[in-house]
Amino acid sequence: MYVHLPIFTVYLFLLIVRAIFIYIVYSTIGYASHFAFYSYWISEGILLSARGASIGELIWNASRGYAGLRAILKWVLAVITSLLLIQASSAAMAQASRIPSFVLTLEQSLELAAAVALVVLLAFSRFYEVPLQRVQTLLATGLLFYSLVQVANNAISKYGMESHFHWWEGVRSTSFSVALLIWLIGLAKPLKEETEGAVQVPDVQGTRNLMRQGLQLLRELFERLHRFNSETHR
């Protein structure tokens, strides 16, 4: 898998390393120390960055053989990354605890953007015959499931609706285990080697029109994210 999805492989490795590291820190020096505080939030930011990069890698690999689509995706991914970092940085500057604020704002924005991107990816695969291998589909499904749970959790926490959803904590706490199970099912079968001369998209103008609509949706998405974070930090 490392050959085809190196970033996702590193992400899985970091999950294991971080869990062991945080367990050792908490069990030896406790939760209240500055080292434990910074260890948690910095490692959380690293994991979040690796998760976002993994989603970008999956989308990038799915567009293999589609030169026109890749040319557009390169700029779209760069713009999304820049907007997420700028938004998280601006929110963090207004808070006393800048590192937690930066990570939490980045997480909220990333999970919503990731959910939209993965839905678009799976829709492309279903309706526009973009070929996805079984492994890629299951990895995308696991990532999408976890992102949707996090988006719902952010909404429930924002509006203080925890008392109305007593069962939600169980869903939230097991969501990553479910996503991990989906990934393991997908990884049980290795990725196939790509053949030379992959089919190119014949309708480049159609792709451009579709991506133009996607960019418009992304613009509306980030406007909503900005309003969401503005209301959250009031």
pLDDT tens-digit series, residues 140-171: 999 999 988 888 887 777 666 666 667 777 78
The answer to whether residue 92 sits within a structural domain is: yes
Task: Indicate the number of domains in the chain.
Answer: 1
Angle formed by the axes of helices 98-127 and 34-62, to 10°? 20
Report if residue 223 sits inside a domain: yes
pTM above 0.85, yes or no: no
Residue 200's pLDDT band (cuts 50, 70, 90): very low
Domain that holds residue 187: 66-192+199-232
CA dist 222 and 227 (Å) reads 9
Q: Is residue 31 part of a domain?
A: no
- On whether the CB atoms of residues 111 and 143 are closer than 8 A, the answer is no
Mean pLDDT of 184-197: 65
Could you tell me if residue 78 is inside a domain? Answer: yes
